[in-house]
Amino acid sequence: MHRRDFLRLAGFGLVGASTLAATPPAPMKHWAWMRGGWKDMDDWKRSLAALRAIGMDAVLVGGNADFYRACVPPARDEGVEVHAWQFIMMRGEHVQAHPEWYAVNRKGVSTAEKPPYVNYYRFMCPSREEVREALRVAVRELASVEGLAGVHLDYIRYPDVILPVALWSKYGIVQDKEYPEYDYCYCGVCRERFKRRSGQDPLGLADPPAHAGWLQYRYDTITEVVGLLADEVHARNKRVTAAVFPTPAIARSLVRQDWTRWKVDAILPMVYHAFYKENVAWIERATREGVVALRGRIPLYSGLYVPDLPPADLAEAARRALAGGAQGISVFQGNTLTPEHRSALAEVLNARG
Ligand SMILES: [Zn+2]
């Protein structure tokens, strides 16, 4: 038997050339978070055309299903994908009807009565079936909108048990360890579920922040919610993405996001250097940490915080993100870019191959 015939019989013949060649890199893609600010649909189309001109491919926009039904068709005309940007665990809308759905801290105080840090920080408990079902229903409705590219999960986490270091002075606090008033969730459902899993009551632990099993329980509850919502989105042939804290280690320790394990199609870490008192060069290191941890399973797009990036720094931040292995960037926010930001960014993004 000729070698070629043998390879074909073995299933190698027809695909041999492509499997021997290096896997082609996935195409670059660039994103912008967007919040309102346009007067009408013509204005919306103009703002999308301006983003397209500097090399942007997708926008993440907040709204309800009716809003997306109106704004998706014009965006498609402009060649820009629309993803439904949604706050997930932080939702105040059920606080009147279902205060018991809200997360409770280690002092026994619910975010329904007294949210931490700011009055809108009303996080729900991710362990509760009713919460999960309400989120599934909300996401299902959005994912049913024709032409929408995907659903983007934001605030898919616990409240910050420790805030990014640059915010401590803003709130007049020092968070050198996990303090009970910022540590969630110790509601009856969480305590019962953890007891079933480990035999222990989290409130009875000698040192809850140091307990690996209790930490893991909370990583897992968020990961489970992501999986449930991803199933809803995927069942409607849409993609699901998430905004997360900047590196896998920071995300786990500050907000209990174990995002390298999530069932999403892409991840958008908020690599907001100044929040962590870091410089622009850190964006490359932080990006690489995420890319390495994901091992090529899904693409990572580095989120850049425009208010802390003058135009030349924004361009440098984008270069750093790409050098760190990101498949693209996402700017917060697309509608706040100045003309100088746009031209600085265009040079980097439009230079792609
Ligand atoms: Zn709970």
What number is the average pLDDT over the span 10-20? 41
CA of 128 to the centre of ligand 1 (A): 7
Quick one: which of 31, 6, 104 has its CA closest to 327?
31
Find the 102 Cα to ligand 1 centroid distance in Å: 7
DSSP state of 157: S
Give distance in angstroms: CA of 159 to centre of ligand 1. 12
Handedness of CA 204, 208, 211, 217 (dihedral sign): positive
Average pLDDT for residues 297-305, to the nearest whole number?
Answer: 98
pTM score of the predicted model:
0.92
Q: pLDDT tens, 151-206?
A: 999 999 999 999 999 999 999 999 999 999 999 999 999 999 999 999 999 999 99
Residue matched to tokens 């042939």? 237
Query: Please, what is the average pLDDT of the chain?
Result: 93
Phi, psi of 258 (to 5 degrees): -105, 65
Report d(CA 192, CA 345) in Å as an integer. Answer: 51
Rounded to an integer, the average pLDDT of 240-257 is 98
For the sheet with 150-154, list strands across it: 266-269, 239-244, 150-154, 81-87, 58-61, 31-34, 328-332, 301-305
Span 281-299, average pLDDT: 98
Q: Is the pLDDT of residue 1 over 50?
A: no
pLDDT at 4 over 70: no
pLDDT at position 336 over 50: yes
CA of 100 to the centre of ligand 1 (A): 9
Residue 18 — very low, low, confident or very high, per pLDDT cuts 50/70/90?
Answer: very low
Task: Give the distance (Å) from ligand 1 centre to CA of residue 126.
Answer: 6
Q: Rounded to an integer, what is the distance from CA 239 to the centroid of its chain?
A: 13
3-state secondary structure 251-294: HHHHHCCCHHHCCCCEEEEECCHHHHCCCCCHHHHHHHHHHHHH
Confidence of residue 7 (pLDDT cuts 50, 70, 90): very low
C-alpha 237 – ligand 1 centre gap (Å): 31
**Ligand 1 centroid to 109 CA: how many Å?**
11
Residue 83 Cα to ligand 1 midpoint, Å, equals: 29
In this prediction, residue 307 has a pLDDT band, given cuts at 50, 70 and 90, of very high
pLDDT tens figures, 100-125 = 999 999 999 999 999 999 999 999 99
